[in-house]
Amino acid sequence: MNRLIGRVLACVLALGVISATAWTMMPVQVAGVLIGLNNLSAGLSAKTVQTDIGEIHYLEGGHGETILLVHGIYARKEHWVDVMRSLVDDYHVIAIDLPGFGDNAKLPDGQYTLDQQQENLLSVLQALELNHVHIAANSMGAYVAALLAAKRPDLMASFAFIGSPLGVATPIKSDMDIARAQGDTPLVVQNAADFVNRNAWLAPEMPYVPQPILHSWMQSEVATPDHNARVWDVVHNQSSVPTLLELAKALPMPALVVWCRPDRIFHVSGAPLLDQALPVSTLAQLDQCGHLPMLDQPDRVAEIYQAFLAVAKAPRKTSEPPKSPP
């Protein structure tokens, strides 16, 4: 019996050593396993679809009305997983890697203008056969989706800005506004130090991500420094589109605005401006989160979003009888 116990303990120890070695020596492989397990635990499957602009990677799970989740610049579909975890029991949820980002192939520079990204997003919706869906989007992705919503409002049942969007000039300058005025672009990754520094810009306290996953994502960005810089320039300096506040006035669908403080990327003073510009809007301002509330506070974001959807899905009255005088 003692010999058997010894063998079991030796096997457990050996597995522990092997796991620890793989964790540090094979981070990309371990990252793939960990991401797959996390997706599975959230009821999600990783899939691809062919579009006019190449193969698109996405996550899908659940049943019911469809929600499409769209990330921002340099981000990826996995940033939505913890929010999706709370939605899959009641909705059919899809999170995409935008064309040219995440696990998708890089695109020629001209494909990254905001107006072209709108066309690319439309290609993804058509390939997935999505029509009249609920869209929730963050940062640059929200701007891209809003451009599409203004052009094709028939495609969207509701629109949610999860975190501050690109395209709103805020009355109070953000930390990033100040940095950009000084010639700095803190979100553009050129090396490992930039990657770590950017995370500090995005959240008051970056949520835990297993080291192999973080290392894998870092290596992917660090490998294309010139591309990263060009994408930033194309998005911010070569796009010819209306401001988001101008677009917002033309969005007829119910809208939700979730904006955090302290958000160092776009100051929270822009939240009431966007809320006022949208014809039918609900505003939620959250504390102790940054530019990516779906990572900082996924449970709270899911709770707010589900409450919004419950109202957005309800039939809207076309007319109401006049109120009786008091």
Q: Does the pLDDT value for residue 10 go beyond 80?
A: no
Residue of 116, 124, 114, 228 whose CA lies nearest to 167 = 114
210-267 per-position pLDDT tens digit = 999 999 999 999 999 999 999 999 999 999 999 999 999 999 999 999 999 999 999 9
The neighbour count for residue 68, using CB atoms within 10 Å, is 23
- The label of the residue with tokens 């193969």 reads 55
161-171 per-position pLDDT tens digit = 999 999 999 99
Q: In whole angstroms, give the CA distance from residue 326 to residue 318.
A: 24
Instruction: Read off the pLDDT band of 159 (50, 70, 90).
Output: very high
Residue 90 gets which letter from DSSP?
Answer: T
Phi, psi angles (nearest 5°) of residue 209: -130, 125
Residue 202 near residue 265, CB atoms below 8 Å: yes
Q: Map residue 255 onto helix, strand or coil.
A: strand
Phi, psi angles (nearest 5°) of residue 322: -60, 145
Residue of 207 and 175 predicted with greater confidence: 175
Average pLDDT, the chain: 89
Which domains are delineated in the chain?
22-312 (3.40.50.1820)
